[in-house]
């Protein structure tokens, strides 16, 4: 499960476009930040996650947040200033055979577009030609269709799909999507055959009766994914300051959607920053991103799970030292993602106490990184330094005394995480 949002125009403090996404996936699934250089292409085809499709003569350079086993990306940006993130949605047009998956469409849209509007066209053309489908889970079978937010410095779009059909709405103000179809009767673009298909299949009587969300969603997963609850939460946080900023976008991503003291043992799918805890809450926020889209975009990315315990670090769509992105399927020493996992799996055993220790250290680093960017007229993006500072702080925190709670419920919770860690040879702190 994921959450994606965007704020445009007069809803941001500086008039820019601000995009954010939490990527929620299976908790042992590493996600890395990766720069891929564009340019002229010599290969006739490109191998996506499951299928090969014709390659373009030229592709853009891209910055991706990518699950290690997938060709595509959960979210990312290109060197033209386009940003895209996707959401899993469950529809009654869904096909499960191997085609393009939503993450492939994110990457292809970034590699091939110069504007957000062009990216919408590219994704919908690919969808109609090749379809979407295929297992999207690293450890268990997960099949779904996709929705997207596509943005650049001038505009943003919500694009929602059901099988090969699609519908799109231009964003005005703040817009959030979260594992549920959201476009109903108001839209700007639509698959040329969608209205007729909806009528012919008996979903609606005529054009006036058309409602994409109600007529293409599946009731059980729309309820179980709790997308509406997370959308309400992120929208509320984004509205709290009146005008959206990079910091308020980070706050929305970190929110646990509870008025009570947060307890990760009781985390639910209603939480934007979700912590895996049981069969009822199997997902974890495995990577996060906030993009400040101006003429010179800055992409703030965690490169780790659980944003409430992490640091957003600044990236441009340029090469960086990727040595800390050396994650593999099993625990990899020296990997930012995996060393953070050791820390967070200890921290959640007594979240209130341990989170205070972690955030008092890491928020200071993040605050200084934000100040370095926005506190000067000539900001410089020191990605390599930011990555090293975060990694070194994690290693230092490994040696800080973390406390654990007792009790029967805690024992069950400890066993849940112990089982997860054992499967990937993750050594405890």
Q: Which residues are catalytic?
A: 2
Cα→Cα distances 29→148, 273, 394, 416, Å: 21, 16, 19, 16
C-alpha 27/C-alpha 281 separation (Å) is 11
Question: Comparing C-alpha atoms, which of 207, 116, 201 is closest to residue 162?
Answer: 201
Residue 9 backbone class (left: φ over 0; alpha: ψ -120 to 50; beta: rest): left
Q: Residue 222 in contact with residue 180, Cβ under 8 Å?
A: yes
Separation of alpha carbons 92 and 96, rounded Å:
12
Q: What is the DSSP string of 33-79?
A: EEEE--EE---SEEE-SS-EEEPPSEE--EEEEEETT-SS-SEEEET
> Residue 130: phi, psi to the nearest 5?
-115, -15
- CA 263, CA 348: separation in Å to the nearest integer? 8
Structure-block tokens of residue 41: 């292409």
Q: Note whether 367 and 299 are within 8 A (CB).
A: no
Q: What is the DSSP letter of 402?
A: -
Q: C-alpha distances in angstroms, 373 versus 246, 341, 378, 379?
A: 11, 28, 8, 5
Strands 145-151 and 156-162: antiparallel
Other beta carbons less than 10 A from residue 13's beta carbon: 16
Which residue's entry shows tokens 């999507």? Answer: 177
Task: Please count the other Cβ atoms lying within 10 Å of the Cβ belonging to residue 338.
Answer: 22
Residues 6+ apart with CB under 8 A from 114: 60, 80, 82
Q: Which residues contact 48 (CB under 8 A, 6 or more apart)?
A: 71, 72, 100, 101, 104, 108
Question: Which residues, 6 or more positions from 322, have their beta carbon under 8 angstroms from its beta carbon?
Answer: 32, 33, 34, 35
**C-alpha dihedral (255, 256, 258, 264), degrees to nearest 10:** -150
């Amino acid at each position: 499960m994921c959450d994606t949002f965007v704020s445009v125009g007069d809803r941001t403090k500086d008039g820019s476009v601000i995009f954010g996404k939490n990527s929620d996936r299976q908790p042992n699934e590493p996600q890395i930040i990766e720069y891929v250089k564009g340019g002229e292409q010599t290969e006739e085809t490109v191998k996506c996650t499951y299928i090969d499709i014709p390659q373009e003569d030229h592709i853009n350079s891209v910055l991706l947040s990518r699950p290690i086993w997938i060709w595509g990306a959960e979210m990312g940006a290109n060197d033209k200033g386009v940003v895209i993130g996707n959401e899993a949605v469950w529809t009654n047009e869904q096909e499960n055979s191997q085609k393009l998956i939503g993450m492939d469409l994110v990457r292809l849209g970034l590699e091939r577009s110069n504007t957000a509007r062009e990216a919408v066209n590219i994704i919908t053309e690919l969808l109609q030609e090749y379809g979407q489908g295929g297992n999207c889970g690293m450890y268990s079978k997960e099949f779904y269709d996709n929705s997207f937010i596509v943005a650049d410095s001038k505009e943003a779009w919500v694009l929602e799909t059901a099988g090969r059909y699609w519908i799109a709405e231009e964003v005005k103000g703040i817009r959030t999507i979260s594992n549920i179809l959201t476009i109903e009767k108001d839209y700007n673009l639509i698959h040329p055959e969608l209205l007729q298909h909806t009528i012919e299949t008996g979903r609606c009587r005529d054009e006036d009766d058309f409602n994409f969300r109600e007529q293409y969603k599946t009731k059980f997963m729309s309820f179980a994914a709790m997308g509406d609850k997370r959308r309400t939460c992120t929208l509320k946080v984004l509205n709290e300051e009146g005008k959206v900023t990079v910091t308020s976008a980070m706050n929305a991503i970190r929110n646990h959607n509870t008025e009570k003291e947060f307890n990760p043992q009781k985390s639910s799918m209603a939480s934007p920053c979700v912590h895996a805890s049981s069969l009822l809450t199997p997902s974890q926020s495995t990577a996060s991103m906030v993009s400040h889209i101006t003429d010179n975009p800055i992409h703030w990315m965690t490169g780790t799970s659980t944003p409430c315990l992490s640091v957003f670090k600044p990236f441009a769509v340029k090469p960086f030292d990727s040595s800390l992105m050396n994650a593999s399927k099993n625990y990899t020493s020296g990997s930012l993602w995996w060393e953070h996992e050791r820390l967070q799996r200890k921290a959640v055993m007594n979240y209130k106490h341990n989170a205070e220790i972690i955030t008092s250290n890491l928020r200071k680093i993040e605050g200084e990184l934000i100040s370095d960017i926005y506190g000067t007229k000539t900001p410089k993006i020191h990605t390599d330094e930011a990555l090293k500072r975060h990694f070194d702080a994690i290693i230092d925190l490994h040696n800080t005394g973390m406390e654990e709670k007792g009790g029967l419920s805690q024992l069950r919770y400890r066993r849940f995480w112990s089982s997860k860690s054992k499967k990937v040879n993750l050594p405890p702190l």
